[in-house]
Structure 1
């Protein structure tokens, strides 16, 4: 668990800790890193580390939560500015955000901990669903968890594939690919329904 207080000093310390962990992961991998390595590189005391985090996984969990909260704010601002509902029209800004913030995903892929991003994104999406119940109005409430995990799984899987393929596709291209796939699925569904 992480415990970052709202004061500027605590937030700055947590950023230094993340940056140190990030550099150590890039340099040495994840398994061989210990807290002493992190505090030495961050140039902070052990007590500062433990005031903010219980372990090194918590540093990554904090960064995932932080980025997912930023994503939510970014998407809500985009929706309000462009007067559009949530859904496929938010695909491009979703990928645009991660295009600018891909280091977190890159680190998680490198250490095989994408599950941390899945959890953070699921929490933010659940929060969004709860605040915007109209997005689920046509679906029975009992299906909400399935819709949530389907959205999380597909979104994060596309991001992981994008990173693994060298980020060669732009947010525009990724958006078109995902929307094309959604449309193909809807067309198949309509054809199967007609039969």
Structure 2
């Protein structure tokens, strides 16, 4: 678990810790990275690490949660500025955001912990659905968790594949691919 207090020093030290862990992940096996390695690289005291985090995994979880919260705000801002309803129209800004913020996903892929991204995104998407309840008005309550799981799985799956492909496709291309797939699925269900 992480315990980042709402003060500037705590936030700054958590950033140094994340940067240190990221550098170490590039250089050696995740399993071989110790807390001592992280604090030495971040040039902080061990007590500073434990004031903010319990385990090295918590560093990744914190950064992932932080980026997913930023994503939620980014999508709300986009919808408000462009008068776009929630749903497929948010596909392009979703990929635009991750195109500029992919470092945490790249690290999670490298350490084989995409589950952290799945959990963070599922939490944010659930809050997004709660804030926009009308999006699911027509859906029976017993299906909502399945819809959430399908959206999380497909969104994260596309992001992971995009990174594995070297991020060669633009956010526009990714949005087009996903919307095309949604339309094909819709067409198959209705005809």
Fold conserved between structures, TM > 0.5: yes
What TM-score, normalized to structure 1?
0.97
Q: Residues of 2 paired with 1:10 and 1:91: CA distance? A: 34
Equivalent in the alignment of 1:15? 15
What TM-score, normalized to structure 2?
0.99
Q: Report which stretch shifted further, 61-70 or 128-137.
A: 128-137
Equivalent in the alignment of 1:173? 173
Note the alpha carbon deviations across 1:163-194, whole angstroms, 9 max, x for none: 00111100000000000011111111111xxx
Q: Residues of 2 paired with 1:145 and 1:184: CA distance? A: 23
Is 2:72 the partner of 1:72?
A: yes
For the aligned residue pairs, the C-alpha RMSD in angstroms reads 0.5
Note the alpha carbon deviations across 1:74-106, whole angstroms, 9 max, x for none: 000000001111110000000000000111111
Q: Residues of 1 paired with 2:129 and 2:163: CA distance? A: 27
Is 2:35 the partner of 1:24?
A: no
> Cα offset for 1:38?
0.2
Equivalences, count? 191
Mapping of residues 101-140 of structure 1, within 5 Å: 101-140=101-140
Is 2:4 the partner of 1:4?
A: yes
Note the alpha carbon deviations across 1:128-158, whole angstroms, 9 max, x for none: 1111110110101111111111100000000
> Cα offset for 1:29?
2.3
Local SS of the residue matching 1:44 = coil
Q: Residues of 2 paired with 1:113 and 1:95: CA distance? A: 20
Equivalent in the alignment of 1:38? 38
Q: Residues of 1 paired with 2:161 and 2:180: CA distance? A: 17
Where does structure 2 lack aligned partners over 5 or more consecutive residues?
Answer: none
